[in-house]
Structures are given as C-alpha cells and as structure tokens.
C-alpha cells in the first residue's frame, strides 16, 4: 500500500476495485465502513453484488475483465474537463501528452459499451474522484489476477497521478495483500530478479555487496518464476524443487498441470506443518514449526514489520523453518548458523536499506514499523512519496483494454470467477481444522444468478459439475443475485471435495506472471444420480 | 502549545478534542471505564469513570467530557473511591457470585471483577437481585451467558456501529432489558459473521470464547503478543497457552492495525490447527511408494546428496525453491540465501504474485 490501513478512515472518497474487502480483509473493511459513516463517498467497482455495495454510494457493476476501459474513461473525463492537478502533473509526472492522446478514444460512451456501466455513472465517478481532497484507491486480487493485471494497476495509477493523489495522507493506491507475509517474502528477496530490499540481481554492484556479505559468488543468470517453472519441469529442464510451506497443488491455477509437473520431478522436498496434497507428492517431507512456535517477523500489506513471538514448543521433532535451512546449508558445505532469528533479521537490516533502521529492540519498544525505515532514528513511513515523486517522476503508462484470455462460447457459455470467503482461508489447511467452521461454510458452492439457474433448471443446493476446458469438479448450487447474469463464482477453499483450480486458466499476466485466477469459461452440468444429496 | 491539563496536580500535555479519559491515559491513570470502547463514541452510562473537575459542581464522566486547557482534574479522592466502590457493589448485586464468572475462571480476570477487586467492592454489600437470563444459543463460537451482563451495550454498539453487522440489539425495556440476536436468538441464524468483537469488548463474563472455555484446564495461563497468521492485514493478537498447549486467543488492543478488532479467522481459527493431532512430527522419506519416518540426519543427508547430484549433473538452474508467504521474514530470507549461495540459482519465488 502507498498509504496505511488506518489512513483509510480519513479518506473523503474511496474507490474500491475488485476487492471484496468485508470477506477477504474484514478488519481493513472496518476502516472503509468508518470512512463511509463519516461521510466519505464510497464507489465500489465489482461485477458481483458484494457486501460493500450495500454501503456504497455508487456501485459500478462492470462486465468481468473490463476494468481498464472504465479507468481509462474516468481518466479521459478528468482530462477533458480539466479536473486534473496541473501542478502535480507538470512537476512530478512524465508522458502526460502521450496519455492524453492515448485516452482520446476512451469516451464514457465507448467504455459504457465495453463495461455495461452507464456513461453518466462513469462521468460522475470521475468528477468525484478528481475533486475529492483525499481520494484513496483500494484494490485486491480482483484487479491483479487477470492476464492484464499489471495494466489494470497502471490504469489505476494513472488516475492517482493525474489527480496528485500520491504522497498525501488518506489517498494513494492501495493493494491489499492476500496472505499474511506476502509482502515480507518479496521484501527479503524471494523473487527471482531481486535480492533483499528490492535490489536488482542483474546489477553487478549489488551482487558484489551481497557476495562480500555472504562470502560466495552469486549467480547473475535470471531466475525463473513459479509459473514458468512448471513449463520447465514439463520440458525436463527443471529437475528438483524445494517447497517451504505452500500447498502449491491446490492453490495454483490449473491444478492438474501443476500436479503433473510436480510428479515428474526427480526430487521434491516439501517442508510444511501438515501432510498437504503437495507434500503427498514429495520424496522428503520435513516437519516445520507453525507461527505460534517461532520467533520472527511478518510484514503486513501496509509495509509494517511486526514481531511474531513463540508461544509454545513445536510438536514432536518439528523445527522452525529458519533452523532447518541453516542445518541443511551447513551439511551442504556452507556454514549457516544463527543463535536466534533476531540475528537473521540483523543481517537483513544490514543488507537491505529499506529496513536498515528496524531492529527487534525497536519493535519491542515501539511496536510495528513501516518501511522505508533506513536508520535507527527514522520513525518509519506510513505514507509513501510524501516528499514528492520528483526524483523518480511518475510516468503515465498508456494501457489498453484487452478482453480476458478466455471468454464464454457455445460449449462453455458462462464466466467463472474465483475468490475468497471470509470464514475459510486459502486451501483450508488451517481453517479446515478449526471446529465449528463447517457450520459457517459447509462445502463449496457455485454461486449462480437466479436467471441462469432458471434457464438451466437448477435448484438451490443441487449438486452440479462445473466444467472448463481443463477439468471438471463437483459443487453445490447457491442461487443468489450476488452473481450477475452469465457469471458464476467459486472459492478454492475445499480442495478435498472441490478442487476449483482444476478449472482455472493457465493464461497469466505477461509482466508479473500472475495466473489468471479470476476469469475463465465454464459450463454447468447436472449430476445424474440415484441417491439424494445430503441437505 | 496549549496550556496542559493538571491531573492530580501533575502537568499532562493534550491535543484539542481529546476527552479527559484520553488525557488520563497519557498520564498513566487507568479508570474503570466499563462502558467505554475507544473505537466507539463515548456513552457515559456506567458512571465509573467519574472525576472531579475544579470549578464544576458535581462529578463529570471523563469519557464524555472534552479536556480543556488548564483544567484541574482530581481522579483519586476518598469520595471518588467510595463512589466507585458503591457503583461496583450495586453492579455485583445484579450478578451471580463472582467466583463463578465464566471469564475470570478461564482466560483471566474480566474488567468488572478487576475493578471490583481494585476498589475493594464487597460482593454482599447489597442483597442480590434477580439475574438476567442466559441465552440458550448453542453456537460453537460465542458463549452468551447474560446472567453476567451489566447492560453496557458495548457489544451491541460494536456489532451495529463498528462492524455494521447488526446481529444483536437490546430488547425489552426497563429492568427487563436484555441483549438478543435477530431474527431468532440463535447467532447462526442471524447476520452474525462471528468476528468475535463482542467478546473482545464485553467487560464482564457475559460473552466469552466457547472454544477457549472448552479447551482450558487448570494451571497458569500465559499470554504472548504476536500476529494473526491469516491475511495481509496483520492484526495483533495474544496467544494464550496453558501447560505448553494453546488454549485461546485475544485481540491486541494496543496494535494500531486492528485496535482490538479481529475477524472470524483471527478469533476462532488461529490456534486449534497448531494443536491438531495430524501435525507432521518427524521427517518422512518416500520409499517404494510410501512414506516412512526418518531421522533429521537421514533426511538432511538425502536432500544434500540429491540436490548436489542434480546441481552437478544438470546445473544449479535445474533446481528451484519456492518459499512461503506464510513463513516469517527470517525464514524467507534464509531460503533465498540458500537458493543463491548454497544451490547457486536465482530460481527462488514465493506466491507474492498471487
Ligand atoms: S453482554 Fe457484555 S458487552 Fe454486551 S451489554 Fe452485556 S456486559 Fe455489555
Ligand atoms: S484477524 Fe482476520 S483480518 Fe485480521 S489478520 Fe487475521 S485474518 Fe486478517
Ligand atoms: S466509561 Fe465513562 S461512563 Fe462508563
């Protein structure tokens, strides 16, 4: 996030895009609710009638995958009506003229055609965004899990740049990260192209610094992402994989392909707290300690490094992840030894300037600290770019609306979009073991609009097959107007009975290689059966 | 800077718009503010935060009175202590015997009984009145025993105003006033999302965590301040342990991220999984299609041998490592260091992109 969770409550305009915040980030949603109660205007962009639409002043119900057309048209209106922040654009941005030209054809009428949103609603939303004094954009996977995910984000950033909404409290562009430490994993260098602190692997000076610290030559060859890695396995070029705590088989798009790839490996190590579907495929499984059994830090979606503390011992012979890696490295001829995770963190802080001023001692005394926090005296940075973008001007990126990689046709006439449900989490390895949760979400539902249900002759709770070009799973029908016509919705929380990601597409964003979880084409088939389903 | 407030004779700086209660907190003075939750506007009904302000007749509620420059506040006079004790004794007369309190007898002292102990309130100063009735709701999450309710409305306000779920509300009138859910008194049939915030805010034993109550035994409990393991919000929690096992969780009101709020996952799914009997407890090695238990040394040797083989025959880039968005920064850092230094590849990734 460019800004902080707490700042959201001070916004006077909120554009919530593709984020079912009350379900996937319920505690952040509390700040959005508070802002709305205090009079902020709330505009929700989502194809589904999510809970926040009840609170919203305006709900822009766009067709799936047409976000860019909408944001471009809003930018078009802001430029056409001269509502942009001219001083900010002049002093802190670049390529404005290219953007202006590019946006000429994105009239509200043109966007209305693509998105299904009335031109009038687009114009009003654009005006309100532009004249608000603290306008925050909030988005989640709904924006990034598309094959054009990066472009969606750029189109949103264009809006914020036009109106000078960077470097200002309660404004900015705020992605909400899904898992507790997604932010931190990237920050400390678990990215093929970046060393800790987003320092580029292909910069020789950076490599020299790390080589000096680590005492070994570093590879300069580009690494591959998880998404490409699967292709490499199938081509026989990738032979061994080591997975720490991730149920890849269930969580990745196009699950059957992922599983096939992992099965072909010469050697697979999985380190986890449970025997997950992925661990089942491993040659060696290592028992890890859970978060309650380790000391360390997590970094939340607003870049806040927070202390994780050990409450109990790990069961049996399970060990903390950090210790396992040290012991294995040492056996492979590289001496890696720390007496406590705080020593590991000190090394991170020494090498990564963005967190250089953060220490366990400070976290103990001051609570969580938001990076950049380069020195011991630095208070941390709740709001990015407060000193202006000037040095690194924000460049406008002209982007175009492209339809999703797979659209409905005669054989697969419905759009499937996937997401989260509040009371279950990810692949269910953790929430699935919490008693009582089966009462809240007993099984996977495929949410179907009443009209589609009527056409297909489907009843509530009836079992159906959901089939795509890649696979077929069973789920129960939930007839609800949360889903618009022609769109069905599922989560991926019940891998044992319904492996939703068998259906999803293997198209991915060509920049970040994020798989396109959000959209694919499916059909619903009635299950012919003799026995009655349990109610 | 504005002239400070004087609290029991000491200077205390303050900001325009702060209540006396907030200024007292800066000064380190903790009053028994039973009806107050900082996330909600002041209510001023429990009358336990009353203080004496020089020049004002009668006592004022610190939670509902804005601080003024040069205000002189007395928080600890004999009269105030007597007054608070009496209010607490009246409250106790409406509740069952203190030793049976569902919160005090499990996870630790509730705010009401803590205040009663602090001000020396006597259980039997006033004859016991008729208690409210416990709810018959058997949901597996929230235990609702309204015999302990002091009608402070923190729960209904947090549910209605803060969470905006509107699952519970006061019903009835006068002495018969009580809290219920709608449309039926079963939360599973109401709009309740089981965020558990009513439990977090309730100052008595009326609302408690049923899972913790079922789990807890005897012996000392310890609390450890940490972070929820689920989403990227990073809410602060306290994990509660007893005899080396996790038995419950409470929100961390001091964490600025969540200010004491949690959702259903943080409140009701953050610790049972760690106690689960199907946790992996030894290394496992696949042999002839099935797993057998192994020692750490065996597992390490096998991994070291096989990874070295692949690296030596096919090159380091034939190996990839995927770290976890659920593991700590320290574990993630070491995994990328392992990839780059031990294996010699940049094939390190996590699920950040999703
Ligand atoms: S249940 Fe607890 S929070 Fe709710 S009114 Fe009663 S005492 Fe207050
Ligand atoms: S309590 Fe809920 S909102 Fe907070 S971090 Fe946990 S899962 Fe996220
Ligand atoms: S806390 Fe002030 S009256 Fe209850």
Contact A40, A170 (CB under 8 A): no
Nearest CA in chain B to A345: B330
Do A296 and A192 share a domain, yes or no? yes
Contacts of B187 in chain A (CB under 8 A): none
B168 lines ligand 1 (CB under 6 A): no
User: If you measure from the C-alpha of residue B116 to the centroid of ligand 3, how many angstroms do you get, rounded to a whole number?
Assistant: 15
Nearest of A71, A249, A288 to residue A158 by alpha carbon:
A71
Q: Token digits for A272?
A: 């986890």
Interface check A180 vs B, CB under 8 A: yes
pLDDT by residue (tens digit) across B18-51? Answer: 999 999 998 889 999 999 999 998 888 999 999 9
A398 falls within a domain: no
Assess whether A262 and A129 both reside in one domain: no
Atom index in ligand 1 nearest the CA of residue B35 equals 8
Of chain A residues 282-311, which have a CB less than 8 A from chain B? 282-288, 290-294, 296-302, 304-311
Same domain, A89 and A201: no
Please give the model's pTM, rounded to 2 decimal places.
0.90
Mutation for B interface: A3, A253, A284, most B CBs within 10 A: A284
| Residue located via tokens 């964490």 | B255
Query: Quick check: B340 pLDDT over 70?
Result: yes
Tell whether A382 is covered by a domain. Answer: no
Contact A440 B301 (CB under 8 A): no
Find the closest chain B residue to A243 by CA distance.
B322
- Domain check: are A363 and A442 in the same one? no
Q: How far is CA A65 from CA A130, A149, A333, B74, B352, in A?
A: 24, 10, 50, 62, 21
Ligand 3 centroid – CA B16 distance (Å): 20
Cα A148 to Cα B48: distance, rounded to the nearest angstrom: 58
Q: Check CB contact under 8 Å for B236 and A306.
A: yes
What are the tokens at A1?
A: 């996030």
Instruction: Decide if A400 is inside a domain.
Output: no
Q: Which residue of B has its CA nearest to A330?
A: B342
Whether ipTM > 0.90 holds is yes
**For residue B78, how far is its CA from the centre of ligand 3 (angstroms)?**
19
Give domain status of residue A288, yes or no: yes
Query: A484-518: buried (b, 16+ CB within 10 Å) or exposed (e) per residue?
Result: beebbbbbbbbbeebbbbbbbbbbbbeebbbbbbb
Task: Specify which residues A370 forms β-bridges with.
Answer: A304
Identity of the residue in B254, B324, B348 whose CB atom sits nearest the CB atom of A192: B348
The verdict on a CB contact (< 8 Å) between B280 and A308 is no
Output the domain CATH number for residue A42: 3.40.228.10
Q: Where are the domains of chain B?
A: 5-76, 216-279, 284-353
Helix H or strand E encompassing B303: helix B296-314
Mean pLDDT, 10 residues at a time, over chain A (535 residues)? Answer: 92 91 91 93 91 91 88 94 89 85 92 92 94 92 52 87 89 86 92 93 94 94 86 89 78 70 93 90 95 96 96 96 97 95 97 96 95 93 79 76 77 82 60 77 82 88 85 86 86 67 57 56 77 45
Ligand lying closest to the C-alpha of residue B159: 1
Which residue of B245, B281, B329 is in closest CB contact with A296?
Answer: B329
Residue among B36, B58, B90, B150 to mutate when testing ligand 3 (max atoms within 8 A of CB): B36
- Which residue stretches of A221-302 are H helix? 226-234, 248-251, 255-264
Nearest CB to A33 within list B164, B188, B337: B164
| Inside any domain, residue A399 | no
Name the minimum distance, in Å, from the CA of B288 to any CA of chain A. 10
pLDDT at A241: 95
Atom of ligand 3 nearest to the CA of B33: 1
Residue A135: in which H helix or E strand, if any? strand A135-139
| Claim to verify: residue A424 and residue A451 sit in the same structural domain | yes
Q: Is residue A462 part of a domain?
A: yes
Same fold, B5-76 and B216-279: no
- Quote the CA–CA distance of A287 and A38 in Å, as a whole number: 49
Give contacts of B264 with chain A, Cβ < 8 Å. 26, 422-423, 440
Query: What is the C-alpha separation between B260 and B236, in angstroms, rounded?
Result: 8
DSSP string, A450-474: HHHHHHHT--TT-EEEEE-SS-EEE
Same domain for A420 and A287: no
Among residues A242, A325, A273, A224, the alpha carbon closest in space to that of B306 is found at A242
Inform me whether the C-beta atom of residue A15 falls under 8 Å from chain B C-beta atoms: no
> What is the reported pLDDT for A427?
57
User: Would an 8 Å CB–CB cutoff place A510 in contact with chain B?
Assistant: no
Residue B308: CB atoms within 10 A of its CB come to 15
Tell me, yes or no, whether A15 and A153 share the same domain. yes
CATH class of B216-279: mainly beta
**Structural domain that includes position A26:** 6-176
The structure tokens listed for A481 are 């107007």
Within a domain: residue A227? Answer: yes
Token readout for B298 is 């065996």
User: Which tokens in the block code for residue B257?
Assistant: 């991220």
Residues of A in contact with B188 (CB under 8 A): 439
How far is the alpha carbon of B119 from chain A, nearest alpha carbon, in Å? 31
Which residue has the CA at smallest separation from atom 8 of ligand 1?
Answer: B152
Average pLDDT taken over every residue of chain B: 91
Give residue A512's pLDDT. 45
Q: Chain A residue with minimal CA distance to B295?
A: A317
Task: Tell me, yes or no, whether A155 and A227 share the same domain.
Answer: no
Domain stop point among A370, A390, A406:
A370
Cβ pair B102, B216 in contact under 8 A? no
Question: Where residue A472 sits, what CATH number does that domain have?
Answer: 2.40.40.20
CA-nearest of B53, B84, B82, B48 to B69 is B53
Give the CATH number for residue A356: 3.40.50.740
Is B5-76 CATH 3.40.1310.30?
Answer: no
Domain annotation covers residue A333: yes
Q: Is the CB of B267 under 6 A from ligand 1?
A: no
**Residue B270 Cα: closest atom of ligand 2:** 6
| pLDDT value for A524 | 85
For residues B121 and A278, give the distance between their C-alpha atoms in angstroms, rounded to a whole number: 59
Å from CA of A287 to ligand 1 middle: 43
Q: Are residues A200 and A326 in the same domain?
A: yes
Residue in chain A closest to B278 (alpha carbons) equals: A274
Say yes or no: A328 and A218 in one domain: yes
Phi/psi of residue A475, each to 5°?
Answer: -155, 165
Report which of A25, A13, A12, A357 is spatially closest to residue B257, judged by C-alpha positions: A25
Ligand 3, atom 1: nearest CA belongs to which residue? Answer: B33
Partner residue facing A300 (CB), from B233, B245, B274: B233
Q: List A residues 30-59 in contact with B (Cβ-Cβ < 8 A).
A: 30, 33-34, 37, 55
Q: What is the dihedral of CA A118, A122, A125, A130, to 10 degrees?
A: -160
d(CA B256, CA B236): 8
Could you give the angle at which helices B296-314 and A321-331 cross, rounded to 10 degrees? 60
Per-residue pLDDT at A488: 87
Rounded CA separation A157/A144 (Å)? 13
Same structural domain, A168 and A236: no
In a mutational test of the B interface, the residue from A19, A220, A298 whose CB has the highest number of chain B CBs within 10 Å is A298
Dihedral of CA atoms A494, A500, A502, A507 in degrees, nearest 10, equals -140
Read out DSSP for A372-402? P--STT----SSTTTT-SGGG-EE-------
Cβ pair A493, A421 in contact under 8 A:
yes
Q: Does A206 touch chain B (CB under 8 A)?
A: no
Q: How far is CA A200 from the centre of its chain?
A: 22
**DSSP category for residue A222:** P
**Domain total of chain A:** 3
Whether residue B354 contacts residue A146, with contact meaning beta carbons closer than 8 Å, is answered with no
Q: List the beta bridge partners of residue B66.
A: B19
Please judge whether A223 and B280 are an interchain contact, meaning their C-beta atoms are less than 8 angstroms apart.
no
């Amino acid at each position: 996030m460019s800004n902080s969770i707490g700042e959201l409550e001070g916004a006077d305009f909120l554009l919530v895009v593709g984020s079912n915040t009350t379900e996937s980030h319920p505690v952040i949603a509390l700040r959005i609710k508070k802002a709305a109660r205090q009079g902020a205007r709330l505009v929700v962009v989502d194809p589904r009638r999510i809970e926040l639409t009840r609170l919203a002043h305006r709900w822009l119900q766009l067709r799936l995958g047409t976000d860019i057309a909408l944001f471009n048209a809003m930018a078009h209106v802001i430029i056409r009506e001269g509502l942009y922040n001219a001083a900010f654009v002049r002093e802190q941005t670049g390529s404005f003229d290219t953007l202006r030209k590019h946006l000429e054809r994105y009239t509200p009428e043109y966007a209305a055609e693509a998105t299904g949103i009335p031109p009038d609603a687009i114009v009003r939303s654009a005006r309100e965004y532009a004249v608000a004094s603290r306008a925050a954009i909030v988005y989640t996977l709904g924006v990034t899990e598309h094959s054009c995910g990066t472009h969606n984000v750029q189109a949103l950033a264009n809006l914020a740049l036009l109106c000078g909404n960077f470097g200002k409290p309660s404004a900015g562009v705020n992605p909400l990260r899904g898992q507790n430490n997604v932010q931190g994993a990237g920050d400390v260098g678990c990215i093929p192209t970046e060393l800790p602190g987003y320092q580029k692997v292909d910069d020789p000076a950076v490599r020299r610094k790390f080589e000096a610290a680590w005492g070994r030559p570093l590879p300069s060859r580009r690494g591959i992402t998880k998404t490409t890695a699967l292709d490499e396995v199938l081509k026989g070029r990738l032979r061994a994989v080591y997975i720490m705590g991730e149920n890849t088989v269930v969580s990745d798009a196009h699950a059957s392909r992922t599983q096939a790839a992992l099965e072909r490996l010469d050697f697979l190590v999985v380190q986890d707290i449970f025997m997950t579907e992925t661990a089942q495929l491993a040659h060696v499984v290592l028992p890890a300690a859970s978060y309650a059994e380790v000391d360390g830090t997590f970094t939340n979606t607003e870049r806040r490094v927070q202390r994780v503390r050990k409450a109990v011992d790990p069961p049996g012979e399970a060990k903390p992840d950090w210790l396992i890696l040290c012991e294995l490295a040492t056996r492979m001829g590289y001496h890696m030894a720390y007496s406590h995770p705080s020593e590991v963190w000190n090394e991170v802080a020494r090498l990564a300037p963005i967190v250089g001023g953060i220490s366990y001692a400070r976290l103990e005394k001051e609570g969580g600290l938001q990076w950049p926090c380069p020195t011991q005296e630095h208070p941390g940075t709740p709001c990015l770019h407060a000193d202006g973008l000037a040095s690194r001007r924000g460049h406008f990126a002209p982007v175009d609306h492209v339809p999703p990689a797979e659209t409905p046709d005669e054989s697969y006439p419905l759009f499937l979009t996937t997401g989260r449900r509040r009371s279950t989490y990810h692949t269910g390895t953790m929430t699935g073991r919490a008693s009582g949760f089966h009462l809240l979400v007993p099984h996977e539902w495929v949410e179907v609009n009443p009209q589609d249900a009527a056409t297909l002759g489907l009843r509530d709770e009836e079992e159906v097959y959901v089939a795509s070009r890649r696979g077929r799973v069973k789920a129960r029908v939930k007839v609800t107007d949360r889903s618009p016509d022609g769109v069905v919705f599922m989560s991926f929380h019940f891998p044992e009975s319904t492996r939703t990601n068998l259906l999803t597409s293997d198209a991915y964003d060509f920049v970040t290689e994020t798989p396109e979880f959000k959209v694919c084409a499916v059909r619903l088939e009635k299950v012919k059966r003799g026995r009655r389903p349990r109610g | 800077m504005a002239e400070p407030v004087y609290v029991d004779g000491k200077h205390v700086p303050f900001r325009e718009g702060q209540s006396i209660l907030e200024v007292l907190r800066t000064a380190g003075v903790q009053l028994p503010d039973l009806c107050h939750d900082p996330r909600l506007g002041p209510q001023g009904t429990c009358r336990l935060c009353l203080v004496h302000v020089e020049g004002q007749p009668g006592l004022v509620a610190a939670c509902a009175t804005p601080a003024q420059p040069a205000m002189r506040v007395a928080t600890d006079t004999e009269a105030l202590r007597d007054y608070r004790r009496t209010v607490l004794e009246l409250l106790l007369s409406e509740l069952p015997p203190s030793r049976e309190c569902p919160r005090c007898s499990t996870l630790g002292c509730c705010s009401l009984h803590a205040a009663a102990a602090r001000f020396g309130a006597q259980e039997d100063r006033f004859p016991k009145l008729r208690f409210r009735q416990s709810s018959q709701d058997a949901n597996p999450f929230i235990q609702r025993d309204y015999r302990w309710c002091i009608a402070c409305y923190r729960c209904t306000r947090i549910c209605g105003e803060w969470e905006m779920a509107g699952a519970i509300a006061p019903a009835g009138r006068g002495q018969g006033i009580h809290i219920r859910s709608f449309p039926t008194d079963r939360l599973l049939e109401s709009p309740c999302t089981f965020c558990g915030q009513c439990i977090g805010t309730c100052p008595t034993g009326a609302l408690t965590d049923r899972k913790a109550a079922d789990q807890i035994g005897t012996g000392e409990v310890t609390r450890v301040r940490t972070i929820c393991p689920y989403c990227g919000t990073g809410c602060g929690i306290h994990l509660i342990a007893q005899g080396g096992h996790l038995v419950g969780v409470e929100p961390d009101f001091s964490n600025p991220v969540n200010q004491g709020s949690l959702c259903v996952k943080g409140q009701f799914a953050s610790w049972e999984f760690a106690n689960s009997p199907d946790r992996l407890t030894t290394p496992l090695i696949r042999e002839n299609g099935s797993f057998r238990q192994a020692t750490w040394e065996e597992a390490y040797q096998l991994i070291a041998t096989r990874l070295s083989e692949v690296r030596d025959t096919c090159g380091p880039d034939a190996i990839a490592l995927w770290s976890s968005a659920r593991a700590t920064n320290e574990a993630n850092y070491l995994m990328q260091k392992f990839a780059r230094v031990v294996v010699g590849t940049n094939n390190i990734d996590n699920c950040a992109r999703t």
